[in-house]
């Protein structure tokens, strides 16, 4: 069903149908009603491709996700869901591109095929070729996470450095003098993954400020690794009385390990972390943590992107979120042995 068919049945020209629908020129009430009746009867909707071709915009956002081979984390999933929902609220569709790097075919299609009006990138590295590429290409984009050179781009991110530092201060206030950071995996650190780096930095600085002993130990993003991690910590650094973590996926394993080793939380070991509320509340005892507002972040990313599409030349906006730490049951004063 195309616009010509509607026009024919309503006995008007195609342009009149178009104007009746868009309201960009006045159409008499009688004509408009006749057209609407025909449309309702046969269920017409403008062809998206034709409209995109003429208007030069697709009413579609591109969302670049990590390839499926790397199991998506819970947080990444949250971003996808919230971006899609926020876009739907603005009557925009979302096109997914599972791309690791710059030369992925699907990424290329998205960019050079002009399939999206704007793009949201996830899993940003400190040096990210995709960012460079998009910038050069002149396509509006927003990143969830930010690179080492954040000023020229729009992004939304969690302030891992500040949050980890706050955790350290909180623990130090409770009297802990020797604290470990349960970081994301060593691979992620190696490839320059922002959150892992910034957690490291925030940790190091806070530990220095307070004159504490700080141990940073990376850990792969899964439960089994979390279980090993706590064993190793106990063996190699028995003096540690508190840990801070940004590694959600390791939490179930961490919990199992603690139970198996008979380490009481928070009596023998305090834990303060950064995690989605869902993870923090699922931990036993419930985790004192800064709640990462996953759903809001996706919505913010869409919001910034829409602004950027409307005004591509405007100054880039950033959002660095540092949600407050929710005190739950996993932190307490040091307990002498």
Partner DNA sequence: ATCGAAGTTCGAATCGATTCGACATCCGTC
Partner DNA sequence: GACGGATGTCGAATCGATTCGAACTTCGAT
**42 near DNA, judged by CB under 7 A:** no
- Residue number, 43 or 315, with CB nearest to DNA: 43
What is the rounded distance in angstroms from the CA atom of residue 95 to the CA atom of residue 277?
A: 28
Nearest approach in angstroms of CB 117 to its own copies is 11
Q: Are 316 and 124 in contact (CB under 8 A)?
A: no
- How far apart, in whole angstroms, are the C-alpha atoms of residue 236 and residue 94? 48
Backbone phi, psi, residue 120, to 5°: -115, 125
- Please report whether residue 132 would count as binding DNA according to CB under 7 A: no
Question: Which H or E run includes 216?
Answer: strand 213-217
Least separation in angstroms between CB 115 and DNA: 12
Work out what residue 13 binds among its own copies, DNA, none; the CB cut-off runs from 5 to 8 Å by kind. Answer: DNA
As a whole number of Å, the CA-based R_g of the chain is 26
The DSSP secondary structure of 272-324, one letter per residue, reads EEEE-HHHHHHSSSPPEEEE--HHHHHHHHHHHHHHHHH-TTSPP-EEEE-PP
| Burial of 104 (C-beta count, 10 Å sphere; 0-12/13-18/19+) | middle
Give the three-class secondary structure for 215: strand
Rounded CA separation 118/127 (Å): 21
The answer to whether 255 and 279 have CB atoms below 8 angstroms apart is: no
What gap in Å lies between CA 266 and CA 331, rounded to an integer?
Answer: 5
Cβ distance to its own copies smaller for residue 78 or 273: 78
Nearer to its own copies, 149 or 284 (CB): 284
Whichever of 302 and 334 has its CB closer to its own copies, that residue is 302
Residue 16 touches which of DNA, its own copies, none (CB < 5 to 8 A by kind)?
Answer: DNA
| Whether 229 contacts 182, CB under 8 Å | yes
Residues 46, 66, 293, 316: which binds DNA (CB under 7 A)?
A: 46
- Provide, rounded to whole angstroms, the least separation between the CB of residue 129 and DNA: 24
CB of 251 to its own copies, least distance (A): 10
Which span sits near DNA by CB under 7 A: 21-29, 151-159, 211-219, 283-291?
21-29
285 preceded by a cis bond (ω within 30 of 0): yes
Closest CA to 126 of 95, 97, 161: 161
Q: Given candidates 9, 28, 192, 197, which one binds DNA under the rule CB under 7 A? A: 28
Determine, following the binding rule CB under 7 A, whether residue 47 of this chain makes contact with DNA.
Answer: yes
Q: Which stretch binds its own copies (CB under 8 A): 87-95, 117-125, 198-206, 306-314?
A: 87-95
305 binds DNA (CB under 7 A): no
When the beta carbons of 52 and 204 are compared against its own copies, the nearer one is 52
Q: Work out whether 59 is an interface residue with DNA (CB under 7 A).
A: no
* Paired sense of beta strands 213-217 and 141-144, if any: unpaired
310 scored as a contact of DNA (CB under 7 A):
no
Q: Residue 206 binds what, of its own copies, DNA, none (CB under 5 to 8 Å, by partner type)?
A: none
User: If binding is defined by CB under 7 A, does position 55 make contact with DNA?
Assistant: yes
* Residues binding DNA (CB under 7 A): 2-4, 11-16, 18-19, 21-22, 24-32, 44-47, 50-51, 53-56
* Residues binding its own copies (CB under 8 A): 43-50, 52-53, 58, 60, 63, 65, 67-69, 71-72, 77, 80-82, 84-85, 88, 91, 93-98, 104-106, 108-110, 112-115, 223-224, 252, 256, 259, 278, 281-282, 284, 295
């Amino acid at each position: 069903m195309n616009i010509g068919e509607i026009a024919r049945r309503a006995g008007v020209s195609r342009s009149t149908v178009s104007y009746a629908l868009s309201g960009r020129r006045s159409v008499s009430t009688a004509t408009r009603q006749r057209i609407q009746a025909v449309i309702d009867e046969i269920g017409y909707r403008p062809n998206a491709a034709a409209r995109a071709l003429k208007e030069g915009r697709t009413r579609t956002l591109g969302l670049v996700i990590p390839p499926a081979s790397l199991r998506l984390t819970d947080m990444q999933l949250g971003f996808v869901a919230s971006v899609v929902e926020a876009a739907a609220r603005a009557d925009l569709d979302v096109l997914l591109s599972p791309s690791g790097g710059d030369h992925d075919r699907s990424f290329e299609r998205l960019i050079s095929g002009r399939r999206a009006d704007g793009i949201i990138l996830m899993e940003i590295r400190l040096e990210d070729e995709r960012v460079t590429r998009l910038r050069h290409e002149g396509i509006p984009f927003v990143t969830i996470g930010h690179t080492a050179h954040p000023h020229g781009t729009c992004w939304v991110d969690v302030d891992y450095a500040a949050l980890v530092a706050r955790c350290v201060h909180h623990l130090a206030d409770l009297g802990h003098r020797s604290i470990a950071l349960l970081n994301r995996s060593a691979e992620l650190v190696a490839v320059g993954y922002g959150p892992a780096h910034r957690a490291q930095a925030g940790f190091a600085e806070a530990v220095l400020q307070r004159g504490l002993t700080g141990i940073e130990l990376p850990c792969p993003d899964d439960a089994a690794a979390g279980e090993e991690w706590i064993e190793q910590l106990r063996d190699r650094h028995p003096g540690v009385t508190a840990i801070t973590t940004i590694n959600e996926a390791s939490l179930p394993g961490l919990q199992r390990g603690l139970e198996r080793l008979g380490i009481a939380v928070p009596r023998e070991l305090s834990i303060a972390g950064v995690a989605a509320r869902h993870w923090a509340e699922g931990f036993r005892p419930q985790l004192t943590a800064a709640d990462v507002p996953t759903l809001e972040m996706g919505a913010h990313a869409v919001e910034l992107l829409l602004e950027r599409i409307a005004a591509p030349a405007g100054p880039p906006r950033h959002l660095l979120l540092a949600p407050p730490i929710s005190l739950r049951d996993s932190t307490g004063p040091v307990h002498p042995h």
